[in-house]
Each structure stands twice: as C-alpha cells, then as structure tokens.
C-alpha cells in the first residue's frame, strides 16, 4: 500500500510539473493585439506612441501586434476607433490624448485602457476628489509639467510684460485646466491676463491675431489643436512681434520661444512599461497614474534670435532637427 501511495504521489508530481511546464510554454507563446487611438498627428503625441510601442516590442517581440489608428483631431472619429477596437476584442488600448481617453472609457469598462499625454485624469474623466488612481480598467501617464513654474517663466523672460494672453482650444478640458492654473498664478504676480479660445483649426489664425493685438506675451498650454497648428500660429505671432511661452516642446518648436517640458518619448516608454505589467497579469485598477519627474527648461534659439529674447543660462537650447 505504501509503495502504491508513493507511486501515485510521484505520478501526480510528474503530472503537475508537466502542467506547469506547459503553462510556462503557453505564456511564452501568447500573442497580444494592442489597439492605439491617437487623437492627432503631431510631434509630442507621435513620440509618446513610439516610446510605448518600442517597450512592448522589446518585451514581446513579434508576439505583439498593434492596431494603430489616428483620429485626425476629430473626437467623433476617436469614438469610432475605440468602438471598433472593443469589437475586435483587443487585449489593451492605448489612448493618446484626452479625447481619445474619454472615447475609450465610454467604449469599454473591461478591456484595460492606458492613457498617455493626459494632463489631469480627474478633469478628463470627471472624477471628483481625484486621488491619483482612477480604478476600474483605466490607468496611465500624465504629461503635466509644473504649471506654477511655467507661469514663473513668463515673468522671468518678460519682466516688463503687463498684458498676457492665454491661447487654447475650448474643446479641450485639460487645456482649460492648465489655463486656469496659470492665469491665477500670473494674476497673483500682478499681471493682467486675458483668455482667448478657438473652437477648432478654422479659427486659430483669427483668434491668435486678436490675442496678439492685445498682449505683450502669449502662453499656450499643452493643447493638441494648438500643437497641430503651430505654423498658423507662428505666421501671425512672429510678424506681430509677440513671443509665446509654450506648455510643451512640440508647440515651442513650432511657434514658441521657451517651455518647461517633459520628454514625450520617455513618457510613452513609461506607459509601455505599465502595459507590460498589465499584459503580464497586474491589476490595472490598483495602478496609480505616473508622472514625468524631470521637466527641462528649453528655448527655441531661432525664434529667440528673431524676437530679441535673451534667456538665462539654465535653459537648454532646442536641438535642431
């Protein structure tokens, strides 16, 4: 009897080991389809998407494929993209920019969603008393740079400025959040601040012209519509001689003189690392939003020279492409 029991135990052990080995082999053969909804094509969002994809490819190789789609700045298109990704039952969705996140959140409460290039998740998802963790099937990374320090840059670079215009797209809730914070900080310094909003790309030039006519300097927050229209903005602001402090590097590169900005490629990589953890089984509902830790003061040498702007030594020159 003892021998039979021992034989049975050994057989069970061999079977268990075999099953574990089979499971491990299955894990190594598992494939993933990751859906990507990017709101619009511009330098910052493109870099975040690329960083995200690079990390997943480094981790999973050809076991991960991407269904990458761009909404061309249209929220309705973002909604359609996310709905289609859900119907395809992808394993995870990257929502790049706030309207993309809002569309993904409306499309599914079960497929994991990671946001990136989102300024404030509480604002984007209308969460009262947001504590840093969304919960449910959503987490991600934020591109929020210290707004008080961006306001400080305005007065540091332009100490004689009295009238500051804040320019952004009224359709972007996170842009309004940034604008409100910076406006309060500038008004606390004694400056007069006026907000100018455009509804879409069609009225960017006219609203920029109005802002330039009434401002010594402009501030543009991290705004996707503005980022896709920097040439149009620069074509108005530069001839008017009005400098722009931008919320991120891509906007600065196109029409601004300076920014306190994050690195969007690195932000995307952080989001990709979060995706690896989710696909490997970590509970997304417990994952707090992650932030870029080391924003950098940068300046645009070409525009600074044209506008006669002198920057302090602790600013880094934007690298020419």
Q: What is the pLDDT of residues 87-135, one digit of tens each?
A: 999 999 999 999 999 999 999 999 999 999 998 999 999 999 999 999 9
Angle between helical axes of 43-60 and 264-279 (0-180°, round to 10): 40
CA distances from 281 to 91, 100, 274, 276 (A): 12, 24, 11, 9
Q: What is the arithmetic mean of pLDDT over 264-290?
A: 97
pLDDT for residue 16 is more than 60? no
CB atoms within 10 A of CB 296: 15
pLDDT for residue 191 is more than 90? yes
Q: What is the arithmetic mean of pLDDT over 291-313?
A: 93
Residue 320: predicted pLDDT: 65
Give backbone dihedrals phi and psi of 65, rounded to 5 degrees, phi first. Answer: -125, 155
CB atoms within 10 A of CB 71: 23
Residue 43: predicted pLDDT: 86
Give backbone dihedrals phi and psi of 313, rounded to 5 degrees, phi first. Answer: -70, -20
Taking the model in full, what pTM does it have? 0.76
3-state secondary structure the chain: CHHHHHHHHHHHHHHHHHHHHHHHHHHHHCCEEEEEEECCCCHHHHHHHHHHHHHHHHHHHHHEEEEEEECCCCHHHHHHHHHHHHHCCCCEEEEECHHHHHHHHHHCCCCCEEEEEECCHHHHCCCCCCCCCCECCEEEEECCCCHHHHHHHHHHHCCCCCEEEEEEECCCHHHHHHHHHHHHHHHHCCCEEEEEEECCHHHHHHHHHHHHHCCCEEEECCCHHHHCCHHHHHHHHHHHCCCEEECCHHHHHHHCCEEEECCHHHHHHHHHHHHHHHHCCCCHHHCCCEECCCCEEEECHHHHHHHCCCCCCCCEECCCC
pLDDT for residue 25 is more than 60? no
**Could you report the per-residue pLDDT of 164-184, keeping only the tens digit for each?**
999 999 988 889 999 999 999
Residue 42: predicted pLDDT: 86
Contact status, residue 147 vs residue 295, Cβ threshold 8 Å: no
Residue 294: predicted pLDDT: 83
Could you tell me which residues come within 8 angstroms of residue 68 by beta carbon, excluding any fewer than 6 positions away? 36, 38, 49, 53
Distance of CA 39 to the CA centre of its chain: 10
**Could you report the per-residue pLDDT of 231-250, keeping only the tens digit for each?**
999 999 999 999 999 999 99
Q: Which domains does the chain have, with CATH numbers?
A: 31-143+263-288 (3.40.50.2300), 147-261+296-317 (3.40.50.2300)
pLDDT for residue 8 is more than 90? no
Give backbone dihedrals phi and psi of 233, rounded to 5 degrees, phi first. Answer: -65, -45
pLDDT for residue 224 is more than 50? yes
pLDDT for residue 14 is more than 70? no
Contact status, residue 216 vs residue 162, Cβ threshold 8 Å: yes
Residue 5: predicted pLDDT: 40
Q: What is the arithmetic mean of pLDDT over 258-274?
A: 94
């Amino acid at each position: 009897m003892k021998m039979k029991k021992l034989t049975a135990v050994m057989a069970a052990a061999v079977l268990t080991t075999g099953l574990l080995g089979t499971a491990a082999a299955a894990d190594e053969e598992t494939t993933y389809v990751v859906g990507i909804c990017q709101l619009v094509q511009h330098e910052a969002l493109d870099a975040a998407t690329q960083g995200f994809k690079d990390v997943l490819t480094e981790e999973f190789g050809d076991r991960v494929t991407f269904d990458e789609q761009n909404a061309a700045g249209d929220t309705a298109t973002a909604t359609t993209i996310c709905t289609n990704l859900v119907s395809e039952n992808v394993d995870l969705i990257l929502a790049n920019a706030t309207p993309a996140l809002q569309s993904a959140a409306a499309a599914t409460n079960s497929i994991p969603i990671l946001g990136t290039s989102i300024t404030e998740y509480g604002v984007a998802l209308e969460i009262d008393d947001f504590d840093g963790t969304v919960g449910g099937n959503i987490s991600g990374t934020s591109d929020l740079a210290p707004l008080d320090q961006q306001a400080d840059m305005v007065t540091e670079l332009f100490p004689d400025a009295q009238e500051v215009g804040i320019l952004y797209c009224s359709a972007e809730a996170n842009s309004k959040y940034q604008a409100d914070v910076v406006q309060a900080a500038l008004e606390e310094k004694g400056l007069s601040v006026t907000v100018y909003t455009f509804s879409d790309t069609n009225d960017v030039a006219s609203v920029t012209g109005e802002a330039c006519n009434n401002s010594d300097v402009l501030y543009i927050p991290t705004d996707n519509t503005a980022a896709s229209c920097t040439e149009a903005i620069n074509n108005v602001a530069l001839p008017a001689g009005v400098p722009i402090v931008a919320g991120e590097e891509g906007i600065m590169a196109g029409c601004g003189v300076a920014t306190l900005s994050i690195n969007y490629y690195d932000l995307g990589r952080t989001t990709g690392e979060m995706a690896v953890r989710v696909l490997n089984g970590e509970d997304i509902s417990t994952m707090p939003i992650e932030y870029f830790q080391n924003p950098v003061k940068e300046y645009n040498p070409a525009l600074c020279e044209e506008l006669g702007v002198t920057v302090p030594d602790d600013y880094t020159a934007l690298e020419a492409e």
